[in-house]
């Protein structure tokens, strides 16, 4: 039973390029969450999605960042025109509907974005 799969694990981009991070939730999980961890900081909520729906994007920067979770395929976090401040570890988590209230999340190993 595969866990939450994120790819790429490491991504290097130059300023102005686009970054795409992918996340496949655990089998049977229909809820996906994206978190960002800046160096020496905690996990900051970005967005919560269900299939084909964005439920809560209150943590997403207003510009350059977008997320989707299509009916088929992985969830995608897209960052356009990256800047050095976007360098961080981006974690995806998933949960089944039954644990949505308790908040228990299953995390992937993260995608580490470095912007040169």
Find out whether 30 and 50 touch, Cβ atoms under 8 Å.
yes
Q: Pattern of binders to another protein over 49-88, x per CB under 8 A?
A: ------xx-xx-----------------------------
Choose the stretch contacting another protein; rule: CB under 8 A; options: 12-20, 30-38, 61-69, 75-83: 30-38
* Choice between 21 and 93, CB closer to another protein: 93
Number of chain positions touching another protein (CB under 8 A):
27
Quick one: which of 13, 25, 32, 35 contacts another protein (CB under 8 A)? 35
CA distances from 42 to 34, 45, 99 (A): 13, 10, 22
* Choice between 38 and 83, CB closer to another protein: 38
Quick one: which of 44, 61, 70, 81 contacts another protein (CB under 8 A)? 44
* Choice between 27 and 44, CB closer to another protein: 44
Shortest approach of another protein to residue 86 CB, angstroms? 19
Find out whether 11 and 21 touch, Cβ atoms under 8 Å.
yes
């Amino acid at each position: 039973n595969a866990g939450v799969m994120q790819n790429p694990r490491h991504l290097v981009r130059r300023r102005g390029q686009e970054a795409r991070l992918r996340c496949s939730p655990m089998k049977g999980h229909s809820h996906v969450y994206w978190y960002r961890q800046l160096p020496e900081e905690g996990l900051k909520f970005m967005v919560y999605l269900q299939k084909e729906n964005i439920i809560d994007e209150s943590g997403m920067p207003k510009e350059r960042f977008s997320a989707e979770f299509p009916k088929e395929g992985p969830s995608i976090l897209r960052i356009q025109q990256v800047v050095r401040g976007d360098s961080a570890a981006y974690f995806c988590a998933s949960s089944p509907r039954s644990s949505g209230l308790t908040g228990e999340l299953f995390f992937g190993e993260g995608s580490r974005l470095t912007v040169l």
